[in-house]
Amino acid sequence: MEVEFKTSQFELNRDAFESVCAFLNRNGGHLLLGVKNDGTVEGVIEDCVQDIINNIITNANNPHKLSPPFYLSPQVIDYEGAKIIHVFVPESSQVHSVNGKI
pLDDT in tens, 18-29: 999 999 999 999
Q: Where are the alpha helices (DSSP H) in 26-86?
A: 49-60
Task: Tell me the per-residue pLDDT of 27-50, one tens digit each, with 9 for 90 and over.
Answer: 999 999 999 999 999 999 999 999
- pLDDT for res 15: 93
In one letter, which amino acid is 26?
A: R
Give dist(CA 29, CA 53) in Å, integer.
Answer: 18
The band of 2, judged by pLDDT with boundaries at 50, 70 and 90, is very high
CB distance 20 to 72 below 8 Å: yes
Q: How far from 32 is each of 25, 68, 100, CA to CA, in Å? A: 18, 23, 24
pTM of the model: 0.93
Of 78, 58, 76, which Cα lies nearest the Cα of 17? 58
- pLDDT for res 31: 97
Mean pLDDT of the residues in the chain:
95
